Amino acid sequence: PLLNLKPVEEGRKAKEDSGNKPMSKKEMIAQQREYKKKKALKKAQRIKELEQEREDQKVKWQQFNNRAYSKNKKGQVKRSIFASPESVTGKVGVGTCGIADKPMTQYQDTSKYNVRHLMPQ
Protein backbone atom coordinates (compact mmCIF):
# COMPACT_ATOMS: atom_id res chain seq x y z
CA PRO A 1 0.00 0.00 0.00
CA LEU A 2 1.06 3.59 -0.65
CA LEU A 3 0.67 4.47 3.03
CA ASN A 4 3.75 2.35 3.91
CA LEU A 5 6.05 4.24 1.53
CA LYS A 6 8.26 7.01 2.92
CA PRO A 7 8.48 10.37 1.20
CA VAL A 8 11.65 10.95 -0.85
CA GLU A 9 14.20 13.39 0.57
CA GLU A 10 15.18 16.24 -1.75
CA GLY A 11 18.99 16.02 -1.39
CA ARG A 12 19.04 12.29 -1.76
CA LYS A 13 16.97 12.26 -4.90
CA ALA A 14 19.41 14.46 -6.82
CA LYS A 15 22.39 12.25 -5.93
CA GLU A 16 20.67 9.04 -6.96
CA ASP A 17 19.52 10.42 -10.30
CA SER A 18 22.97 11.70 -11.33
CA GLY A 19 24.84 8.53 -10.31
CA ASN A 20 22.56 5.90 -11.81
CA LYS A 21 22.05 7.16 -15.34
CA PRO A 22 21.81 4.25 -17.73
CA MET A 23 24.74 4.49 -20.14
CA SER A 24 24.54 3.44 -23.72
CA LYS A 25 26.92 0.81 -25.05
CA LYS A 26 28.92 3.43 -26.98
CA GLU A 27 29.39 5.54 -23.86
CA MET A 28 30.51 2.49 -21.89
CA ILE A 29 33.07 1.51 -24.54
CA ALA A 30 34.37 5.09 -24.72
CA GLN A 31 34.69 5.24 -20.94
CA GLN A 32 36.59 1.93 -20.86
CA ARG A 33 38.85 3.12 -23.68
CA GLU A 34 39.69 6.31 -21.75
CA TYR A 35 40.36 4.29 -18.60
CA LYS A 36 42.70 1.94 -20.47
CA LYS A 37 44.54 4.89 -22.06
CA LYS A 38 45.12 6.49 -18.67
CA LYS A 39 46.26 3.17 -17.23
CA ALA A 40 48.68 2.57 -20.11
CA LEU A 41 50.13 6.07 -19.73
CA LYS A 42 50.68 5.54 -16.02
CA LYS A 43 52.34 2.19 -16.68
CA ALA A 44 54.62 3.66 -19.36
CA GLN A 45 55.57 6.51 -17.01
CA ARG A 46 56.35 4.07 -14.19
CA ILE A 47 58.50 1.91 -16.45
CA LYS A 48 60.33 5.00 -17.70
CA GLU A 49 61.02 6.11 -14.10
CA LEU A 50 62.33 2.66 -13.15
CA GLU A 51 64.61 2.59 -16.19
CA GLN A 52 65.91 6.06 -15.35
CA GLU A 53 66.57 4.96 -11.76
CA ARG A 54 68.51 1.92 -13.00
CA GLU A 55 70.59 4.09 -15.31
CA ASP A 56 71.35 6.48 -12.43
CA GLN A 57 72.47 3.59 -10.22
CA LYS A 58 74.64 2.24 -13.04
CA VAL A 59 76.30 5.61 -13.57
CA LYS A 60 76.89 5.97 -9.82
CA TRP A 61 78.54 2.56 -9.70
CA GLN A 62 80.73 3.28 -12.72
CA GLN A 63 81.87 6.58 -11.24
CA PHE A 64 82.63 4.94 -7.90
CA ASN A 65 84.50 2.08 -9.56
CA ASN A 66 86.60 4.43 -11.69
CA ARG A 67 87.36 6.66 -8.72
CA ALA A 68 88.28 3.73 -6.44
CA TYR A 69 90.44 2.10 -9.10
CA SER A 70 92.26 5.30 -9.95
CA LYS A 71 93.08 5.99 -6.27
CA ASN A 72 94.51 2.59 -5.41
CA LYS A 73 96.05 1.42 -8.66
CA LYS A 74 97.87 4.45 -10.05
CA GLY A 75 100.76 2.79 -11.89
CA GLN A 76 99.16 -0.57 -12.66
CA VAL A 77 97.62 -1.57 -15.95
CA LYS A 78 94.06 -2.80 -15.68
CA ARG A 79 94.02 -6.34 -17.04
CA SER A 80 91.12 -8.76 -17.12
CA ILE A 81 91.62 -12.29 -15.79
CA PHE A 82 89.45 -13.45 -18.68
CA ALA A 83 91.67 -11.94 -21.38
CA SER A 84 93.02 -14.38 -23.93
CA PRO A 85 96.75 -15.12 -23.50
CA GLU A 86 99.30 -13.68 -25.92
CA SER A 87 101.36 -16.86 -26.25
CA VAL A 88 100.46 -19.71 -28.58
CA THR A 89 100.57 -22.27 -25.77
CA GLY A 90 98.31 -20.26 -23.46
CA LYS A 91 94.89 -21.63 -22.54
CA VAL A 92 91.67 -19.67 -22.21
CA GLY A 93 89.41 -20.29 -19.22
CA VAL A 94 92.03 -21.93 -17.01
CA GLY A 95 91.85 -19.17 -14.41
CA THR A 96 94.55 -16.88 -13.08
CA CYS A 97 97.32 -19.47 -13.39
CA GLY A 98 100.24 -18.07 -15.31
CA ILE A 99 99.13 -14.42 -15.19
CA ALA A 100 101.87 -12.08 -14.03
CA ASP A 101 104.38 -14.94 -14.13
CA LYS A 102 103.00 -16.56 -10.98
CA PRO A 103 102.92 -20.36 -10.96
CA MET A 104 99.93 -22.36 -9.86
CA THR A 105 99.64 -22.89 -6.10
CA GLN A 106 101.18 -26.16 -5.04
CA TYR A 107 99.18 -28.65 -3.00
CA GLN A 108 100.79 -29.69 0.26
CA ASP A 109 99.92 -33.05 1.72
CA THR A 110 98.49 -32.62 5.24
CA SER A 111 98.38 -36.29 6.19
CA LYS A 112 101.53 -35.92 8.35
CA TYR A 113 99.92 -33.21 10.46
CA ASN A 114 97.96 -34.60 13.41
CA VAL A 115 95.91 -32.35 15.64
CA ARG A 116 95.41 -34.88 18.43
CA HIS A 117 98.81 -34.29 19.96
CA LEU A 118 98.00 -30.54 20.33
CA MET A 119 94.79 -31.12 22.32
CA PRO A 120 95.00 -30.91 26.15
CA GLN A 121 94.54 -34.26 27.90
pTM more than 0.75? no
Q: pLDDT class for 111, splitting at 50, 70, 90? A: low
The pLDDT of residue 43 is 97
> Over the stretch 38-97, which tens digit does the pLDDT of each residue have?
999 999 999 999 999 999 999 998 888 887 766 666 666 666 666 776 777 766 655 555
Q: How many CA atoms lie within 13 A of 70 on its CB side?
A: 6
Q: In this structure, what is the dihedral angle of CA atoms 81, 85, 89, 95, given to the nearest 10 degrees?
A: 10
| φ, ψ at 119 (rounded to 5°) | -75, 140
Does residue 43 sit in helix, strand or coil? Answer: helix
